[in-house]
Amino acid sequence: MQHKALVILLFLPFLGRSLPEHPLEKGGGTIGSLGAVSEPLASYKSYLLAKFGRAEQEAFFFDLCLARACRERNLAPKALEEARAQAEKEIESRGDRFPAKVRQDLLTRFTLLYLHGIRLRALAPTLRKVTEEKLRRVFDQVYGVDGLRVRVRHILVSFVGTKELLRKKLGREPAEKEVLEAAKKRIDALATKLRQGEPFAKLLPYSDDPTTRTLLEDSRFRDQAGLIPGYNFQRFGTGFAEAVRGLPVNRVSPPVRSSHGWHLIQVLEKTRTRFEDVRDDCERRFLSAPPDGFEEREIQKRLFAKYQVELR
């Protein structure tokens, strides 16, 4: 009885009167006929339950719980109107190419989809607990690991690229030792050119990085060649990261080995930010960030427990 009451209490405010009426809601016990045989609505409901199974069942109850939780906290009071407006806009953006019945179904589906998102985004921040660990995570993402944000470019002599060069040169499959020795000789030769005054940019065509070579071929993007977008001290491993941390701006590193091959690294910019100076900003970002899939599942679990949802 308690379970049934939950459905009744949540269902009405969840849907409301603003959603487009579906033809099946107008009454009647059949959904159509096959020859002289009428198909009852109850059979169609059983078919839908069997077809969509537990996943849609959970989604239904999750939306009911979101509606109740938002109502209790007075969150997103105009969610239904906003969702319907977004759904109308979505359909309009797709052009006037839907029959009336299809448009009606799409309007309902999009409205429910947007309604779920609006309520979830409104509720999620109220359930989040601010901790130093979580704020530090935001800090690292926004301001760089430990507050160090860098702009880095490199020249790569890869083991794969070296192996291909040796294969063409020798006419056979090179041994691993031959590849390692040849890669080291290649990077040492480039490092020597740098010490002799060759500009870093002039050596970029020797890089085995395919993105670098592609950018060099287009004059519009040539100045981006060799850059590692959004470098976060993880790509290419710890040795590469340590070299970046220790390099003064515009200085070029000696050859640095990674699992990919050998690198010559140049740090173009370094920006340091103290956590204490931006803590409030990190908290604001943490609370306003849209929930990811993991958080959404945690919210569902929490609401199901709170409202004693039982799926049958």
Beta strands in the chain (DSSP E): 30-34, 37-40, 148-158, 256-257, 261-272
The CATH fold of domain 145-272? Chitinase A; domain 3 (3.10.50)
Adjacent-strand bridge partners of 227: 153
* Token pair listed for 191: 């490092």
Residues 6+ apart with CB under 8 A from 271: 143, 144, 148, 149, 150
Residues 6+ apart with CB under 8 A from 36: none
Closest Cα partner for 120 from 259, 276, 303, 247?
303
pLDDT tens sequence for the chain (312 residues): 444 444 434 444 444 444 545 555 555 577 777 777 777 877 888 888 888 888 888 999 999 999 999 999 999 999 999 999 999 999 888 877 778 878 888 888 999 999 999 999 999 999 999 999 999 999 998 998 899 999 999 999 999 999 999 999 999 999 999 999 999 999 999 999 999 999 999 999 999 999 999 999 999 999 999 999 989 898 999 999 999 999 999 999 999 999 999 999 999 999 999 999 999 999 999 999 999 999 999 999 999 999 999 887
pTM for the predicted model, two decimal places: 0.63
Domain ranges across the chain: 2-24+40-130+290-306, 145-272
Three-state DSSP class for 119? helix
